[in-house]
Amino acid sequence: MEAPLKLALFAAMCGLLGAIPTYFMDFNCGQTIDFTSKGIYDMRLKLTALSSYRPNMQCSLTLVTRNNSYFMLYFRNLQIESTIGCGDDWLEVHDGPTTKTSPYVSGLSGRQCGYGIGDSVYTTKGRYLTLFFESDGQFGLSGFDMILTPYHVGSCYSDEYRCHNGRCISDHSTCNGYNPCGDNSDCSLAAGAIAGIVIGTLIGFSLCIAFVVVCRRRRRHAYNHVTAVVTPGGGYGTPVAGYSQPVQQPYPTGPAYPPPSYQ
């Protein structure tokens, strides 16, 4: 197992994975989302919140981050009807603020469609990213699911993390389980920290087991704290909880003696 995957598993065990906001393109058609003004450090962008995208869609969305910064993005999933030349349904990813004049993001030239796109990481050359999606009159598939993270290069600020590839991302993005660096270096814990996480997890798990065992023993002891009662046969029968003293069985009664007869 590779080190980044191990780190992600350790973080998940300890509840360290942080959620990132999810946006839906079809809810934001024609809008511009400013990461800086909205305080967005990472974004999960999906085409739709529905199980499949609607027919006859024409939807554009522009994303922008602060000056001298860029976008890193990769697809988690792509399910768009596949035809020759992507002539029915397609997605365009433009490196700039418009679909008409901005070039495509390097590595994503032309229309994108099909069933899967791999795990490649793509970057913009500026602070803008514009997406355009169009579908025909038929009902579609799930669309796409991508992760976007703003970054810059050069000197990192005090509240930023330097990735191994030299990119600076927000400290809020580290160890979130979504590869915000693009090279799986966002959660570089030292060996001692990893060992501490594992040991802490094992200790916590052991304490939970011990607590459950103690509770069960106490409950069993409470049920067994009973006294016996006398049965009609003179012996001791089934214990009955709640009595501090044996319950005395009354003397058995039989048929009345016949009255004396006088001759």
Percent of the chain clearing pLDDT 70 (strictly above): 66
- Amino acid 16: pLDDT: 46
- Amino acid 118: pLDDT: 87
- Amino acid 144: pLDDT: 98
Q: What is the mean pLDDT of residues 54-61?
A: 97
Q: Give residue 121's identity as a one-letter amino acid code.
A: V
In this prediction, residue 120 has a pLDDT band, given cuts at 50, 70 and 90, of very high
How do residues 139-191 score in pLDDT, each as one tens digit? 899 999 999 999 999 999 999 999 999 999 999 999 999 999 999 999 975 43
As assigned by CATH, the class of the 16-188 domain is mainly beta
- Amino acid 194: pLDDT: 42
In the chain, domain spans: 16-188, 190-228
Q: What is the mean pLDDT of residues 106-120?
A: 94
Over 70: is that where the pLDDT of 257 sits?
Answer: no
In this prediction, residue 79 has a pLDDT band, given cuts at 50, 70 and 90, of very high
Q: What is the mean pLDDT of residues 7-21?
A: 54
Least confident piece of the model among 43-52, 87-96, 235-244: 235-244
